[in-house]
Amino acid sequence: MLLGEFNQLDYDAAVELLISCCHCKAWAEAVAALRPMASVDELIACADNVWRGMDEKQVLQALGGHARIGDIALLRSRYAGKATKEQGQVLNADDAVLQELHDLNVEYEQRHGFIFIVCATGKSAEEMLALLKARIYNTRDIELLNAALQQAEITRLRLQQLFQNQEV
């Protein structure tokens, strides 16, 4: 998509498109309302700025748009397109690594009340497992901040991919 096309979308269509990058309605509505954008850089900076203003409920809503890392069945059914690409390395992981990712993800979610999230692009399943092990015993507040930071990184990548035909 071209930025000019995005700027010309009606508000509801722009919100829907933005929700595909970050599953937080308040964030998508706020970014859509700030159009038109002069450049993809401006859009990404705006998206970052709006994201920093989101509260816990809104961050948790965004996290609800992600599959658990290593949850292959869910990736295949619910999140078939985007998440499978973003977690492509996990799909090829050893069964023992996948099982440990799954088990620790369940423990993480029980401990913190939300899924473990990491920008998985370019990371192997083993790297993600190491990150999960390093973060699982953090406090909930620290992990909520970590999750928000990871969501921002994922959103930036998704926006860049959406507008990949233009310079960022």
Distance of alpha carbon 151 from its chain centroid, rounded?
Answer: 4
Does residue 125 sit within a domain?
yes
Read off the tokens for 23: 């599953």
Average pLDDT over the chain, rounded to an integer: 88
The model's pTM: 0.85
On whether residue 78 sits in a domain, the answer given is: yes
Runs of H (alpha helix) within 3-94: 3-8, 11-19, 25-33, 40-52, 56-63, 72-77, 82-86, 88-91
Does 126 fall in a domain? yes
**Sign of the alpha-carbon dihedral angle for 28, 4, 154, 87:** positive
Rounded distance between C-alpha atoms, residue 152 and residue 35, angstroms? 19
In a domain, 8, yes or no: no
What would you measure as the largest C-alpha separation in the chain, in angstroms? 48
The pLDDT of 44-55, averaged and rounded, is 98
> What domain range is 96 assigned to?
68-150
Give the domain CATH number at 143: 1.10.3330.10
Tally of structural domains, the chain: 1
Q: What pLDDT, on a 0 to 100 scale, did the predictor assign at position 78?
A: 39
Residue 138 lies in a domain: yes
> Residue 10 pLDDT more than 90?
yes
| pLDDT score for 92 | 62
